[in-house]
Structure 1
C-alpha cells in the first residue's frame, strides 16, 4: 500500500474537533451535550445578509475575480475606513474564509524554514497552517495568572534569529479572550521596525470588546504600512461561519501582487458568499450593540461560575467569546474525553477543547481547557453545573493548586 506523506503524518489534529466521535456517541446514548468546544455562535445572522441570498437573481453561477469582486472589495473598504484603516479596494484580497487568508499570507511572506513568533496559547489551526506552509512556529508563553497579557518584549527578542520573519497575533485573542492594549501594540510596532519583521494581525473578533474597552489594530499605527497584514473573516462578526468568506488586507503592494498569484491558482472566492458579504456591511449598529451586550452577559455567567468551583481559575477576558480555565485535573485531553465518554449528570454532559492543542510548547496547558460562551446563559449555567459535578468525581482530580487561589485573589475573585 502506498504510504502517507510526511506532512500528512505531521499535520496536527484539531483540539476543537478531535473529540467529536465521543460527543456523537454520547448523543446516541441519549445524553444532552453542551457544546463549548467550538466558536459556533447561536446568535442569528443579520437579516440583511440572509435577504441578499434569498433575493439573488442571476442566470449563471460564475467565477468571480480572483481577488474578489470590485463591488465587494469597495464595500469592504467603506467598512474598514470607518474604523480608520485608510485603505483602497486594491489593498484587499478576498479569501475562502479567514483560514485561506492565513495560508495565502504565510505562503506569500514566509519561506520554508522561516520562523514566526506567536504568543501562546494561540488559535490551534495556526499550527496546521504552518505545517502546510513549512513554516516554523516559535511560541512565546503567556500566562493565565496575568490573564494572558502580551509577554515582555525582551522575551520576544530572545527568540529572534536570522530566520525570524514575522510575529502573529490574534486580537482579541482566540483562545484566551485577551484584548491587547494600545501600549502593547506600540511595543510590537517598535519590535517589527527594529528587526524588519512582518506583523500579522488576525482580527476575527474585532467587534467583540467588552467593559468599554476599545480595539487597536496595527493598521492604526504610523510607519507600519509595509509590515502589517490583517487577516479577517465574516464568520464571527456576522455569525456566518458557514459562509467561508474572509480577506487579507495590506498596504504592501509587493505582498498583494504575490498573494494574487496564489489567489489565481485557486481560481476565485464564492460568488454567492460575496453577495451576502457585501450586504452584511449594511448591518445596523444596533445589531452589534445587542450582540455585545449578550456576549458580555454570557461571559459573566461563565467566568463567575468557573471561579466559584474549588481548584478552578478563569481570568475575565476583555474580548472574543472564549475563556481558558485551569482545572484541578491531571490531563485535559483525558478529562475532556472522559466527561463525554463516562460521565453524565441528569443525562447531560459538556464538550470542551483541551488547551494542549492551543500550545506548541510541549507540556503546556495540560490542566487547561478552552470554552466558548456561544450558548445562551441558561444552557451555560447548566453546562457549568455538569462540569462542577464532573470535577467532584473525576478519577484524575488533583489537589488544589496554590497558584490558582493566588491568581483568584490577585484578580479580586
Structure 2
C-alpha cells in the first residue's frame, strides 16, 4: 500500500527519535538525565487540579468550538497585564499551541506558499508546514551572535511572491533568544512593506532573565491587524499534558476564518479548559519564583559548558533552552555515544541534536539543544557528566583520526 507524499516527506521528531537509545540504556541499569525535552519539573499550580476535581455534571458535553467563555475571559484579563486588549471574538482556544500554529498556517497559506522562519527554530514548524504543503523559507541566525536576527536587507532578500508570513518564537525555542525592541520593530516594518502576516509564538513570554525588558508583537499598534499571537499553558504553568493553547489576533476576519477549522474539529476538551481557567488566575508571585529558579539552572548548565574547550555558546536570556556548538563533526553521533557507550557511575545524559531545528541542509550538525528543566542538584550532576563525556568523546575522535592517518 502507498502512503501520501505529504506524510512521507514529514521528518520524524528530532527531539523524540533517539528515545529508543535512552530506553536501552535504562534497561541496562543506567540512569539517564533528560536534557533533551522541554518537560519542566516545576509543580503545576494546584488550582488546575482542584477545578477539575470539583467539576460536577451529569453529562460531559461538547464545549463550544471557540472555547468556553470563562477561559476566553481569563485570557483577556491575562493579556491586559501586558497592555494587550482583545475582544472575546478575537481569541480562540486550541488543542495546545501546536494546533494554534497549524490552524494559523492553514488559514494564511495555500499549498506551494512559504513562510519566513529564523533558524534554528522549533522543529515542529517544519512538520506543521510539510503536512499542508507549505515551505519553510529559513533565515539563518548564528550561535556567535546569540541567534539574533540578521539585517533587514538579508531578511527581505528571502521574500518572494509566494511568501505569506513570518513565523518566529520570542523568547526562542531552541535558542533562548529574546528579541530586542529594535528587532521587533524591524520585523513589523518588513511585514508592512511586504504585506505579510506575523505569527508570534510567545509561549515562553514569562521566562526572561537578567533584567531584560520584553516586547510582545501584540504591543506594536501599527501591525496589530497582521499579528497572530500563539500561546499555551504548557510551559507557562508547567501543564504540558493539559494541551490548552490559544490564538489571539485583532484581525477579526482571520479569527472568523480559523473558527471554521475549530468547528471542524468540534471542540477542545472541557475539563482541561475548566482547569486552565484557574491557571490564568495564578498570582504573579508564581512567575517570580519560577523565573529565578530557571535563571539559576541556566547559569549552572552554561558555566559547565563553558569549561569545555571548543564549545561556542552565548548565554541565553529567555525560555529554558541552550543551543551550543560543539567541537565535534556530528552531534547526533555524540548523543548516541553518550547513551550507548558512556556512563559515569552508571549515569549518563541525553541531549537533543540540533540539526533537526534547521531547514537549511547541513546546518546544526555540530550543535545540540539542552533544556535546563531538572532541579539544580540533578542539573549540576548532569552538566558535569556531559562535560566529562564530551571531553572523552573529542579525545576518542582525535585518537581514531590519528590511527587512520598512521
CA contact 2:32–2:349 (8 Å) conserved in 1 = yes
1:90 aligns with 2:82: no
Note the C-alpha offset of 1:214: 1.9
Matched, 1:14 2:8: no
Once the two structures are TM-superposed, the CA of residue 282 in structure 1 deviates from its matched residue by: 1.1
Mapped pair 1:317 → 2:341 = no
1:411 aligned partner = none
Counterpart in 1 of 2:138?
A: 139
SS in 1 for 2:301: helix
The 5 Å alignment of 1:309-348 reads 309-348=308-347
CA distance in 2, matches of 1:195, 1:11: 29
Structure 1's consecutive aligned runs of 4 or more residues displaced over 4 angstroms after TM superposition are 395-399
Range with greater deviation from structure 2 (28-37 or 328-337):
328-337
What does 1:390-409 correspond to in 2, within 5 Å?
A: 390-394=389-393
The match for 1:407 is: none
* Structure-1 residue corresponding to 2:50: 51
Shift of 1:392: 2.6
- Aligned twin of 2:214: 215
User: Any residues of structure 2 matched to 1:255-270 within 5 Å, and which?
Assistant: 255-270=254-269
Whole-angstrom distance in 2 between the partners of 1:48 and 1:301:
31
Q: Distance in 2 between matches of 1:314 and 1:375?
A: 20
The farther-off stretch of 390-399 and 183-192 is 390-399
Residue aligning to 2:403: none
Contact 1:123 1:174 in 2 (8 A): yes
Aligned residues: 398
Residue correspondence of structure 1 range 71-82 to structure 2 within 5 A: 71-82=70-81
- Quick check: 1:115–1:136 contact (8 Å CA) kept in 2? yes
Given that residues 22 and 339 in structure 2 are in contact (C-alpha distance below 8 angstroms), is that contact kept between their aligned partners in structure 1? yes
SS in 2 for 1:394: helix
Alpha-carbon distance change, 162 to 292 in structure 1, aligned in 2, over 3 angstroms:
same
| Structure 2 residue matching 1:159: 3-state secondary structure | coil
- Once the two structures are TM-superposed, the CA of residue 285 in structure 1 deviates from its matched residue by 1.2
2:224 aligns with 225
Q: Deviations over 1:38-76 (max 9, x none)?
A: 000000001222211222112111110100011211121
Residue 286 in structure 1 maps to residue 303 in structure 2: no
Mean CA deviation greater in 381-390 or 345-354: 381-390
Q: What is the distance in 1 between the residues matched to 2:241 and 2:151? A: 37
Inter-partner Cα distance in structure 2 for 1:228 and 1:396: 49
Partner of 2:183: 184
* Range that drifts further, 386-395 or 244-253: 386-395
| Inter-partner Cα distance in structure 2 for 1:98 and 1:62 | 23
- Tell me the equivalent position of 1:364: 363
Match status 1:100 vs 2:99: yes
Matched with 2:167 is 168
The 8 Å contact of residues 305 and 311 in structure 2, kept in 1 or not, is answered as yes
CA distance in 2 between counterparts of 1:142 and 1:397 reads 31
Q: Give distance in 1, aligned partners of 2:397 and 2:235.
A: 36
Q: CA deviation at 1:348?
A: 0.7
Show structure 2 runs of 5+ residues with no match: 399-406
Partner of 1:246: 245
- 1:392 and 1:286 map into 2 onto residues whose CA distance is 40
Segments of structure 1 that go 5 or more residues without pairing to the other structure are: 400-413
Q: Is the 8 A contact 1:175 1:322 kept in 2?
A: yes
* TM-score normalised by the chain length of structure 1: 0.94
Offset of 1:82 from its aligned partner?
Answer: 1.6
Residue in 1 that maps onto 2:38: 39
Q: For 2:364 and 2:110, how far apart are their aligned partners in 1?
A: 29
Question: Structure 1 residues 267, 396: CA separation in 2 closer, same or farther (over 3 Å shift)?
Answer: farther
Q: 1:190 to 1:27 in 2, by over 3 A?
A: same
Match of 2:401 in 1: none
Contact 1:209 1:215 in 2 (8 A): yes
Using the TM superposition, name which of 97-106 and 342-351 deviates more: 342-351
SS at 1:214 equivalent: coil
Q: Distance in 2 between matches of 1:282 and 1:199?
A: 28
Contact 1:391 1:397 in 2 (8 A): no
Tell me how far 1:396 sits from its aligned partner. 8.1
Say yes or no: does 1:375 pair with 2:374. Answer: yes
CA distance in structure 2 between the partners assigned to 1:285 and 1:72 by the alignment: 18
How many Å apart are 1:326 and its aligned residue? Answer: 1.1
Normalising by structure 2, we get a TM-score of 0.96
Deviation at 1:345, TM superposition (A): 1.2
State the alpha-carbon separation in 2 of the partners of residues 95 and 360 from structure 1. Answer: 26
Tell me the residue number matched to 1:404. Answer: none
State how far apart, in whole Å, the 2-side matches of 1:13 and 1:329 are: 23
